[in-house]
Structure 1
């Protein structure tokens, strides 16, 4: 398997989605320990900047963005910032479960927009895989739709749209060194994280992280490695292929929450998880068939 092959890109995407699934559970553990979400976001962004700035200095890697990708990098950074800002803000108006279902509509957004953005042919098989995954996510999350505030709905859907934009931008930003991408994305995200912390009155000193050290380490570590894997994956596979793979994230979260937080998975959620897995396997098989070389016949 070539290091830059689509198959390796799918593996990186699976690893990233799995780590993100763990990340949100341990963010809950950290919150229960007294560490707020904005505090975790701010310090993990600062960690990313320090980490990749150090990597660039030690390994003498350039932080220069390829000239033709500077606009794309700006879009990638801004969309990454809006993903967190919109998603976190949405739960102030609607239940978390409803926000999660709306947010994980982003693979559908990616597929529907791909003919315009990437020129991808919208096949019935691809559409079927996306809606199978979306149905599975709805069953896994199990939302209780009650009184819904339009502001929360708009913010959650905005987060989904920002995520789709992030995937498309990352898939087009392939010439810039990975270290430079990681550094500049988080440099753009930092002001948004600080503003969110200031707006919620949760700009605190780093000592607050000691209230739940294990939860903080797991959620920050899951994000750092997961985001790195995401950027690597999107440099090797299409946004459409990656978007479907990331449907595994809420399934991992549901399973991990039963182990770590003692929550229970019912038969409907188990069925949803199976549907998501079936969609991902089908997508991988479709990707392999598209990537297979055509053998000429005599």
Structure 2
């Protein structure tokens, strides 16, 4: 291995951390505008359907312009199918849970997926479960709980089950996506969205919310920001998961509810309580600790790889 190749590989995880953190920020920002769109009657399920259709069109155009292949690597077809199904289940479970429990409670239950990823990683990725990693994920989870500030009262078990199911689906998505490193990002996004589309249409039909495209004109700016945030976050998520482990990415995505809370305060004039600010600080501290831990692990791994002339 020459020095140039070694440098390229060592910088890739750093890019992955940046991609994941930016993706989490876009997802958190996207939620606020989705809420604004809902005020005008543009339902979430309808936005999801047209968002997926738009992504398929955009991916097709990008593939044509870049002359990029949409073919899947044969050995990764099963993994991509798993990513698509888990992505669909994630969205359905999380969005459906808020029909039975408050959004804040659903968020706390949903964001248990970093804990699931860390606890399962020794069995899936064969990585050691260190005390430092457990401490980081515990701090991040506590911070998320403080940020969303749930009121655990009169909870419906159906909502809890749906939110926790979405959390498990997200953990599966992260592990499966981290193993799809040979298929190009354009092809990944195309096939995953193609798997999500029929599921989103079925849910919209079942709930009676499959409205015509004209419904998007009710809040054009909010809908545009919602779709743009999702598209950017989704693409960056899969760029990140091709470069870093599911564990490292999972902790970084704890930034999403923090960004959502801050964006809500700035855009919707919602008030942040002192405990929420403290929770955001804990999440940021956990993210910084995770980045430092990942960097130390990366340097240790690089030191073990001999560099030939």
TM-score (norm. length: structure 1)? 0.97
Gaps of 5+ in 1: none
Distance in 2, matches of 1:191 and 1:115, equals 34
Say yes or no: does 1:173 pair with 2:180: yes
The equivalent residue for 2:303 is 294
Q: Choose from 16, 32, 36 the match for 1:9.
A: 16
Residue in structure 1 matched with residue 135 of structure 2 by the alignment = 128
Q: Deviations over 1:152-186 (max 9, x none)?
A: 11110000000000000110000001111000000
Determine the C-alpha separation between the residues in 2 that align with 1:234 and 1:24.
Answer: 22
Pick one of 241, 244, 247 that aligns with 1:237.
244
What is the Cα deviation at residue 197 of structure 1?
0.8
TM-score (normalizing by structure 2): 0.94
Contact 1:107 1:164 in 2 (8 A): yes
Aligned to 2:4: none
Q: 1:63 aligns with which of 70, 73, 92?
A: 70
Distance 2:212 2:127 in 1: 47
Is the contact made by 1:82 and 1:159 (CA closer than 8 Å) also made in structure 2? yes
The answer to whether the aligner puts 1:86 opposite 2:93 as a matched pair is yes
Kindly tell me: are residues 295 and 51 of structure 1, through their superposed partners in 2, closer, same or farther at Cα, counting changes over 3 Å? closer
1:157 paired residue among 161, 164, 167: 164
Report the 3-state secondary structure (helix = DSSP H, G, I; strand = E; otherwise coil) of the residue aligned with 1:240. helix
TM-align CA RMSD: 1.3
CA deviations on 1:115-142 (whole Å, 9 max, x unpaired) are: 1110010000000000100000000000
Q: Which residue of 2 aligns with 1:76?
A: 83
* Residue of structure 2 in register with 1:111 after alignment: 118
Q: Following TM superposition, by how much is the alpha carbon of 1:295 offset from its aligned partner in structure 2, in angstroms?
A: 8.1
In the other structure, the counterpart of 1:184 is: 191
Q: Residue in 1 aligned with 2:103? A: 96
The runs of at least 4 consecutive aligned structure 1 residues that moved more than 6 Å come to none
Task: Decide which of 286, 291, 299 is 1:279's aligned counterpart.
Answer: 286
Q: Which residue of 1 aligns with 2:235?
A: 228
Asked whether the equivalents of residues 2 and 8 of structure 1 are also in contact (C-alpha less than 8 Å), the reply is no
| Cα distance in 1 between the residues matched to 2:202 and 2:152 | 31
The CA distance in 2 between the partners of 1:53 and 1:184, in whole Å, is 11
Match of 1:42 in 2: 49
User: Equivalents in 1 of 2:23, 2:209: separation in Å?
Assistant: 28
- Residue of structure 2 equivalent to 1:262: 269
Matched pairs, number: 296
Match of 1:30 in 2: 37
Distance 1:214 1:106 in 2: 31
Question: Does residue 147 of the first structure (1) align with residue 176 of the second (2)?
Answer: no
Aligned counterparts of 2:258 and 2:280: Cα–Cα separation in 1: 6
Task: Give 1:58 shift.
Answer: 2.6
Distance 1:28 1:92 in 2: 14
Aligned with 2:277: secondary structure? helix
Find the residue that maps to 2:303 and give its secondary structure: coil
Q: CA offset at residue 59 of structure 1?
A: 2.1
How far residue 92 of structure 1 moved from its aligned partner, in angstroms, is 1.2
Structure 2 CA distance for aligned equivalents of residues 18 and 241 of structure 1: 16
